[in-house]
Structure 1
């Protein structure tokens, strides 16, 4: 029986981990997005456990209380990816399955491109390959869908708008979240260091080099997009295959919003059942 973990460390930071499922099962690393944490996997993880899989759901940089540096440069994609590398090297027992949603998908794409030796399969939910996203910003309506990314570059105001006013709750509800999910995630964001850390993922975007974002992915990849996603349009979703040279599957979930793991866990589990084999 593999020893359970509740945290791991990297460069003086401590990250919380929810380790569940069969201890001897193949490892699936679960990477959440904004403004959520590892609880966003609570509906999917038990289905994976029933398949004999062990899940490591991480509270990532800015979300774990012991991993909230102040500098926005500390949230560069290279640092976020290195955090997951540390987890896999310390506790993953070899190449692992990686599933990421939203910002967690961006980290998963980058991890698979830079360290394919650590990734058995990649599953990206909602967010396309970074190069496909950048291309869509220049050639489609994606720029308008991503307006909030520019707003999040401002100091102080976004923290207040997301956590201390009704704007954040209205935005999440309009995106497809349930009231219970929105209240859960926004309650955590009332902690100043956490909302600052979460927003710093966006504020570090200017420090990501285009070359690093364009690296192709060679590992077996499943990309799942949903057609009711108000933040991510079809242009980047459809062009993502250009940046995957390994086995690639693209699935569209009809009638599902951005919040795939919680809104459609059974449909996602069925796709993962085939992909992770």
Structure 2
């Protein structure tokens, strides 16, 4: 694996890359409160199988792409970052993978730029339309999503999360993320302005438009112990995909799938990519 700096109009994105430069390109998007490191095991596996893999630290997580205003983190900007990064890499078409907030960006990118994507893989995060429906109809999902509202307070949330050696921030990983990764994330988000930038994803407000049904070949991976997304939203997601769709449920696994169940996720991802090799 090597470190990359990807320059775009929005700023410079740090990234991890591996695999042969001529390999089939795969972009991996992390969520909160993590970085591209979350995909370490998947990067290694995909690279071993000949894929060219890049996992950027997204807007706000990369110091060189860290605007200060919450509105600079609206979904349209995050999708534009995906386009800008892949264009800078010279990728006319690519496979897109996302977890947590990275999953949300992946869904919206698939809606806005379906012809750029060979496949879509989303881990944990239901389709935004499915989540919106469930938030209206399912009390359990409303309860699970309450944190998204709570974290919009500023600077109260930052101070609370970083107090006592970032004790509250560390508890979010629920003992399911490797300790060395937790230390790396905490160190990264403890730098001046970094946690505020990450939380601005929650403070940016609603997306600029509406999202439709996805026709890109899609793999959706959900886990039964996910604290953020319940079964109702997971099952509803299939109604929002009209292309080839595969839904996989991981029993007894928490929200932190890429690090808690790396081998399983890598196997599912490789299978999905190979199934749609000619797309």
Q: What is the Cα deviation at residue 171 of structure 1?
A: 3.0
Q: Specify every segment of 5 or more residues in structure 2 that has no aligned partner in the other structure, as ranges.
A: 275-279
Quote the Cα distance in structure 1 between the aligned partners of 2:252 and 2:72.
37
Partner of 1:202: 202
Question: What is aligned with 2:236?
Answer: 239
Q: Return the alpha-carbon distance in structure 2 between the equivalents of residues 177 and 270 of structure 1.
A: 19
- Name 2:163's counterpart in structure 1: 164
Partner of 1:252, secondary structure, is strand
* Bigger shift: residues 226-235 or 176-185: 176-185
- Following superposition, the deviation at residue 48 of structure 1 comes to 0.8
Three-state SS of the structure 1 residue aligned to 2:20 is coil
- Is residue 31–residue 103 contact of structure 2 (8 Å, CA) maintained in 1? yes
Matches of 1:128 and 1:27 in 2, distance apart? Answer: 24
Indicate if the aligned counterparts of 1:18 and 1:57 stay in contact, CA closer than 8 A.
Answer: yes
* TM-score, length basis structure 1: 0.93
RMSD of the TM alignment (CA)?
1.6
Alpha-carbon deviations, 1:218-266, whole Å to 9, x = none?
1100000011111111111000011111110000011111111111111
Alpha-carbon distance in 2 for matches of 1:58, 1:259:
18
Query: Could you say if the C-alpha distance between residues 12 and 255 of structure 1 is closer, same or farther in structure 2, counting changes exceeding 3 Å?
Result: closer
Q: How many residues align?
A: 270
- 1:190, distance to aligned residue in structure 2 (A): 0.8
Residue 134 of structure 1: aligned partner: 132
Alignment partner of 2:252 out of 240, 244, 255: 255
> Partners of 1:250 and 1:190 in 2: how far apart?
36
**Paired residue for 1:186?**
186
The TM-score with structure 2 as length reference comes to 0.92
Give the Cα separation in 2 of the matches to 1:236 and 1:17.
31
> How much does 1:149 deviate?
0.6
Residue 123 of structure 1: aligned partner = 121
SS at match of 1:207: coil
- Counterparts of 1:168 and 1:46, CA distance in 2: 27
Equivalent-residue separation in structure 1 for 2:28 and 2:122 (angstroms): 10
Q: Tell me the SS of whatever aligns to 1:34.
A: coil
Residue pair 2:37, 2:181 contacting (<8 A) in 1 also: no
Q: Distance in 1 between matches of 2:249 and 2:225?
A: 10
Change (3 A) 1:66 1:37: same
Cα shift at 1:7: 2.2
Structure 1: gaps spanning 5 or more residues: none
Equivalent residue number for residue 173 of structure 1: 174
Q: Structure 1 residue 92: deviation in Å?
A: 4.2
* Alpha-carbon shift at residue 130 of structure 1 (Å): 0.5
Report what 1:26 is aligned to. 24
- Give the Cα–Cα distance (whole angstroms) in 2 for the partners of residues 159 and 38 of structure 1: 21
CA distance in structure 1 between the partners assigned to 2:108 and 2:246 by the alignment: 18
